[in-house]
Amino acid sequence: MIMKPRNYLAGLVTAGIFAASNLAHASGISLDQAQVIALQTAAEKGFISERGTAHKITQIKTIKEESGQPLIYLMQLNHQGFVFVSAQSISNPVLAYGPKNAEQFDIVNNPGIQQWLSSHRAQLKAFQAHRQTPSTFRQSHALKSAKSISPVQPMTTTQWSQNGFYDDQTPDEKLVGCVGTAIAQFLRFHMYPWYAQGGEHRYSYTQYDQEEIVVDFGSSYYYWPWMPDKVTEETDSRHQWEVSQIMYHAGASVNALYGYDVTLAPMRFIPRALEKHFGYVTNGFEYKSDFTSEEWHQMAQNELADNRPFILTGLDPELGIGHAWIVDGYDGDKYHMNWGWGGNMNGYYSIDIPAVRGYTFNQRMAMVRAAPERDLQDVPFCEGESSFTNSADEISDGSHDWNYRLNMNCKILIEPRGASSVTLNFSEFKTERNYDFVTIYNGESTNAPILGKFSGNSVPNAITADSGKMLIHFTSDDIVTEDGWQASYSSQ
């Protein structure tokens, strides 16, 4: 659910990675200590001060719990940068920082910041309730950070937003929505595709007010060089049009329900939209809760190290809002966020705080990893017809670390020389249930008897073809893809 920002946190906000553990003590971190941490962070991270003067804190806001105790100090530095510091004695009290993009220091109106603050407020309250000693907490955090790889600088340059010039082509210039903004910025980074996917067909759906949304993806063209990093009144009208077109198409690709105050879009549709309309290969919708924390962070960092930003989504049950945004770099345990709010408050943020006694948050966070098909030419996706003649071998849909592609129609014939039987054993199996199928034939063509037809995520039992030949026919539709399948065969 994508909502226009409201003052959800207004009641919680009041004006007001050096060796931080030296300032952390059992009773927490004071505002004075937090300011010292912020100033040293600014010096270490290369913040730019005014006319070469010393760094200075120009605004302070505080997130408090219901009792009035501080939880997070939000500090603006040099009128343009920011550092967020925990008031709790955790191992690394710096929760977020950015050397720029905080000129307005817009905390309340940025939906991504709202969600991030809500999540971290809850995590810090849980830390307080299940308090570990700082030394124990630092130890667990050090273990998690031990396998970190080299930092990756921010890759996206766009500072697009949901309204203003960006919504010129949405119905009645309603909000683009954060899902549409995230997809559009993701596509602009890759500058792909030049032509939208979907053939000549007309893509349409009906909104809640019965208004029909229509996009002809089959004849759409995107001229990426004309899309500037930021659209202003001085931007050429043709360039404004190019940006607003991709913003509209990106939202419509996930069936956005447009509104002036609220734009709703199902975040789970993001992989399908990228695959179906824009020619990308994805890994589907990967929930953080399906991985250990170490696995998830390693997966995220590997993706960024391969120069691929990804889309991150989150749903905050406390605020009742969702958000989607771009992650395009990292430094240590912080990820660089492009919130899709005109560049406002883009910077490095912690995803979570190390779990306290097994208690974790952000379980509803999900990642969408994707790449243009043009960049995956070395991935041997199953296509056309192929054959195997060895007495034993391994076979798969060929997608390796990716999901298989839409509209697959491939046949694999197993015909070992002199064999009287072939036995197939699946080791992994996950396809879109009731839509994508692996059909096994007792022979060399689809006219042979069917030994089994499989779909879903249950690994089939061993299958034997007593004809000495086995045909595997794999098909997928044009909507959803999954991990795919792997198998091995033997013969007698």
Domain-embedded: residue 455:
yes
pLDDT at 34: 96
Domain final residue, candidates 89, 109, 129: 109
Domain-embedded: residue 415:
yes
pLDDT at 262: 83
Same domain, 344 and 403: no
Domain final residue, candidates 341, 359, 374: 374
Domain final residue, candidates 326, 353, 374: 374
> At 37, is the pLDDT very low, low, confident or very high (cuts 50, 70, 90)?
very high
Same domain, 103 and 176: no
Instruction: Identify which has the larger pLDDT, 456 or 126.
Output: 456
Domain-embedded: residue 422:
yes
Same domain, 415 and 341: no
pLDDT at 353: 63
Task: State pLDDT tens for residues 334-356.
Answer: 999 999 999 999 999 998 765 44
pLDDT at 362: 61
Per the structure, how many domains does the chain have? Answer: 3
Same domain, 96 and 224: no
pLDDT at 150: 84
The residue with tokens 């909104």 is 207
Task: State pLDDT tens for residues 300-341.
Answer: 999 999 999 999 998 876 666 789 999 999 999 999 999 999
What range does the domain containing 424 cover?
A: 380-491
Same domain, 352 and 426: no
Residue 199 pLDDT more than 70?
A: no
Same domain, 443 and 472: yes
Domain-embedded: residue 122:
no
Same domain, 400 and 468: yes
pLDDT at 317: 64
What DSSP state is assigned to residue 152? Answer: B
Residue 442 pLDDT more than 80?
A: yes
Residue 359 pLDDT more than 90?
A: no
Overall average pLDDT of the 204-212 stretch = 85
State the catalytic residues. Answer: 178, 323
> At 130, is the pLDDT very low, low, confident or very high (cuts 50, 70, 90)?
low
Domain-embedded: residue 146:
no
Quote the pTM value.
Answer: 0.85
pLDDT at 9: 43
Domain-embedded: residue 6:
no
Same domain, 411 and 360: no
Domain-embedded: residue 359:
yes
Q: 482: closest CA among 458, 466, 465?
A: 458
Overall average pLDDT of the 357-376 stretch = 77
Same domain, 370 and 384: no
Question: What does pLDDT average to over the chain?
Answer: 87
Domain-embedded: residue 148:
no
Residue 141 pLDDT more than 60?
A: no
> At 126, is the pLDDT very low, low, confident or very high (cuts 50, 70, 90)?
confident
Overall average pLDDT of the 137-153 stretch = 52
Overall average pLDDT of the 356-372 stretch = 71
Residue 142 pLDDT more than 70?
A: no
Q: Reduce the secondary structure of the chain to three states and give it as a string.
A: CEECCCCCCCCCEEECCCCHHHCCECCECCHHHHHHHHHHHHHHCCCCCHHHCCCCEEEEEEEECCCCCEEEEEEEECCCEEEEEECCCCCCCEEEEECCCCCCCCCCCCHHHHHHHHHHHHHHHHHHHCCCCHHHHHHHHHHHHCCCCCCECCCCCCCCCCCHHHHCCCHHHCCCCHHHHHHHHHHHHHCCCCECCCCCCCEEEECCCCCEEEECHHHCECCHHHCCCCCCCCCCHHHHHHHHHHHHHHHHCCCCECCCCECECCHHHHHHHHHHHHCEEECCCEEHHHCCHHHHHHHHHHHHHCCCCEEEEEEECCCCEEEEEEEEEEECCEEEEECCCCCCCCEEEECCCCCECCECCCCCCEEECEEEHHHHCCCCCCCEEEEECCCCEEEECCCCCCCCCCCCEEEEEECCCCCCCEEEEEEEEECCCCCCEEEEECCCCCCCCEEEEECCCCCCCCEEECCCCEEEEEECCCCCCCCEEEEEEEEC
> At 107, is the pLDDT very low, low, confident or very high (cuts 50, 70, 90)?
confident
**Domain of 439: which CATH number?**
2.60.120.290
Same domain, 283 and 196: yes
Same domain, 414 and 465: yes
Task: State pLDDT tens for residues 386-409.
Answer: 999 999 999 999 999 899 998 899
**Domain of 355: which CATH number?**
3.90.70.50
Overall average pLDDT of the 38-59 stretch = 88
Same domain, 316 and 208: yes
Task: State pLDDT tens for residues 449-482.
Answer: 999 999 999 999 999 999 999 999 999 998 889 9
Task: State pLDDT tens for residues 62-77.
Answer: 999 888 889 999 999 9
